Structure 1
Amino acid sequence: MGVPPWEGPWPDDARLDPELLAGGDRRNVLDRYRYWRLEAIVAELDARRHPFHVAIENWQHDLNIGTVVRTANAFNAAGVHVIGRRRWNRRGAMVTDRYLHVHHHASVEEFTGWAAGQGLPVIGVDLFPESVPLETFDFPRSCVLVFGQEGPGLSEEVRAASEAVLSIAQYGSTRSINAGVAAGIAMHGWIRQHGGPAPSS
């Protein structure tokens, strides 16, 4: 995977990293970002971030956070927010957290205060009696999607602070979907309504 050291005349482009040009670029990035500096990639992504954020509660060191971060990168979310414990397992993120803005909130109150200050409606995703089907929900263009950790699901505090709580239709024998998978489904629900065509690779 990747590309070898640069061949030919040395390019004059401030976005390019001399070390990558000299040694090759074996990062897991799209072809258009080959040899780019990390800061240049982040700046380009920042210029076209989607206006939705994602948040996940992390009271019991949830191993799904890395998967959520990786998916948020794929859909170019405006930011990822970890509520609760600051530390999380980055292995599942596959270094995609380097290309995102990851924020920490020590409590639900701190998180909801931030969301209110940004004018972002909080949209929870979990299976409650009042949950509305994600498949028919009109997502706000600017919002923050919140996911509970594996097992306990959304806390009562987040549930109470949510303008809406969404459920994902299930057709099998169980009543649960892995938290990382549920986050991907919800993000893609937003993308289907607001994302538009993906840029070429």
Structure 2
Amino acid sequence: MAAGGRGSGRPAKKKSPTKGTGGNKRRGLEGRGATPPAHLRHWHKDKARTERVEREERTGGKTSAARPQTRTRRSEDAPEYIGGRNPVLEALRAGVPAAAMYVALRIDNDDRVKEAVRLAAERGIALLEVGREKLDRLTEGGIHQGVALQIPAYEYAHPDDLVSIAQEAGEVPLIVALDSVTDPRNLGAIARSATAFGAHGLLVPSRRSAGVTGGAWKTSAGTLATLTVARASNLTSALREYREAGLFVVGLDGEGSVDLEKANLLDGPLVIVVGSEGKGLSRLVAESCDLVVRIPMHAAAESLNAGVAAGIALYEVARHRRR
């Protein structure tokens, strides 16, 4: 029989008490209580609000139940932003429609900023102080100098409206159409030249073309506020309808058959078609023109910027009409 066991004659050893946990395990099982309501969870509320604001800025205030994609595409109804002290001030002076003006915190208030703030206040435009990170995001990394202006999505006219504008003014129609000009800065530069030389509007295709964006507003120096821009779903069809209405369609292309100054259609009702830099006019658009002209240059210069070419052509049209 085992030593120390029952009936061995020796008393069994007394075991010492087991060390307890002090109730820690019991308290750990109690949990942390009910989840506080949403209005008390400030961290949740701030995060949700930030995500909602950023989503509205990307979609123009519209929400969608679809899963967000990795790359978001700007909605046509989304607002645009003009960044930079001079462009913002020029836009306000020109009466560009605006919904809000964003000013960076602790900005250095020079005369341009002070006048821009005053003009915005006089027009009832909301003034918002934000961080520079916010301005970087709104202007998509562009140079904003601590100031940005929010403008609504542009409302395009119908191509026929451009002819009506000339007729109501009692003037010979002059329209500038853009073929595959994809840089908004070129559109803005062409708008400046079109306004300077008396054009009645711009025509842009709805696809594969620059539109009236913040970059175009910025380069136009406010002239887009007074110049009408129309959009056509099919550029060649719109040009054909212009020809049927009695307008001459003249295309600009380095491969044109006639020098610009020798063209004999420039003093009549006219549509000037400007192609993209390098590629020029597309084949179908070139075939839709009554005449394709070139700007004579030295051989060293391969092509002109679309904005520069349009300015030269519009000056030549104005010179012919003054005769």
Into which bin does the TM-score normalised by the smaller protein fall? Answer: 0.5 to 0.7
Q: Greater RCO between the two (CA within 8 Å, min separation 6)? A: 1
Partner of 2:204: 82
Residues 1:134 and 2:260 are matched in the alignment: yes
Where 1:76 maps in the other structure, the secondary structure is: coil
Residues 165-200 of structure 1 deviation map (CA, whole Å, 9 limit, x = unaligned): 11111025122111110000000110001047xxxx
Counterpart mapping for 1:1-201 below 5 A: 47=169, 51-58=173-180, 60-61=182-183, 63-85=185-207, 87-88=210-211, 89-90=215-216, 91-128=218-255, 130-138=256-264, 139-195=266-322
Residues 71-91 of structure 1 deviation map (CA, whole Å, 9 limit, x = unaligned): 101112122111243652422
Where 1:69 maps in the other structure, the secondary structure is: helix
Structure 1 residues 121 and 115: CA distance shift in structure 2, 3 A? same
- Matched AA of 1:70: R
Where 1:176 maps in the other structure, the secondary structure is: coil
Q: CA deviation at 1:133?
A: 0.4
Q: CA deviation at 1:119?
A: 1.6
User: 8 Å contact 2:267–2:320 — kept in the other structure?
Assistant: no
How many pairs does the alignment contain? 158
Q: CA deviation at 1:65?
A: 1.0
Q: TM-score, normalised by structure 1?
A: 0.67
- Matched AA of 1:132: V
User: 8 Å contact 1:55–1:144 — kept in the other structure?
Assistant: yes
Where 2:313 maps in the other structure, the secondary structure is: helix
- Matched AA of 1:135: E
Q: CA deviation at 1:50?
A: 5.1
RMSD: 3.0
State the alpha-carbon separation in 1 of the partners of residues 241 and 184 from structure 2.
Answer: 22
User: 8 Å contact 1:108–1:157 — kept in the other structure?
Assistant: no
- Matched AA of 1:76: G
Residues 88-146 of structure 1 deviation map (CA, whole Å, 9 limit, x = unaligned): 24221122111112111122233223313432111001111x52001222224211000
The share of aligned pairs that are identical, in percent, is 31
Q: Which runs of 5+ in 2 are unaligned?
A: 1-88, 91-117, 123-164
State the alpha-carbon separation in 2 of the partners of residues 114 and 74 from structure 1.
Answer: 26
Structure 1 residues 107 and 192: CA distance shift in structure 2, 3 A? same
Residues 5-47 of structure 1 deviation map (CA, whole Å, 9 limit, x = unaligned): xxxxxxxxxxxxxx98xx6xxxxxxxxxxxxxxxxxxx9xx73
- Matched AA of 1:75: F
